[in-house]
Amino acid sequence: MKKLMILFAGLLILGVSSCRKVTEQYYTVPNKTIFYSVNASSWTTTDGGFTYSASLSFLQGDSYVNTYDGLLVYVSYDNGNNYISVPQTYNGLAYSYSASNSKVVLEVQSSDFNQVIQNPGVLSVKVVMIPSEE
């Protein structure tokens, strides 16, 4: 009986000591989405209509660090119902963007880069800022 008790106690100690709850805490930095409405008058051209650009400035509370963080840009012609990602070629127009810490410059030009295009008109733009840990 004593041997059975020692065996049971040994198994109990091994069983209790090997079961431990491991919890790791992860901190996820949430992204931030900003919506812009670009009017037809916001587009400018410096090359006679081959390329149009519009500058989208970040607000005071928006924080973007071009060195570490990520940025996604989407445009919509139908008031935000359908967005296309940038860079993209859509309906013969090539969309691209460049970013700094304070603004995004959206550019539109002909997909073959040799044609004068019309002013892109009104666009809804969605910018998603994705912060990253170093």
Q: Which of 126, 100, 130, 121 is nearest to 43 (CA)?
A: 121
> What are the residues facing 84 on neighbouring strands?
75
Q: Which of 117, 106, 45 is nearest to 71 (CA)?
A: 106
| Single-letter code of the amino acid located at 27 | Y
Tokens of 60: 């005071």
Q: What is the pTM of this model?
A: 0.72
List, in order, residues 6 or more apart from 14 with CB less than 8 Å away: none
Q: Chain centroid to CA 56: how far?
A: 15
Q: What is the pLDDT along the chain (134 residues), one digit of tens a residue?
A: 666 677 666 666 666 655 566 667 666 768 889 999 999 999 999 988 899 999 998 876 677 777 888 899 999 988 878 899 999 888 888 999 998 888 899 999 988 878 899 998 899 999 998 887 76
Predicted local confidence at residue 65, as pLDDT: 76
Predicted local confidence at residue 101, as pLDDT: 80
Domain boundaries, the chain: 32-130
Predicted local confidence at residue 35, as pLDDT: 93
Q: Chain centroid to CA 49: how far?
A: 29
Architecture of domain 32-130: Sandwich (2.60)
Would you list the DSSP string of 69-128? Answer: -EEEEEEESSTTSS-EEESEEETTEEEEEEE-SSEEEEEEEETTS-S-------EEEEEE
Residue 31: DSSP 8-state: P
**Angle, CA of 127, 125 and 94, to the nearest 5°:** 100
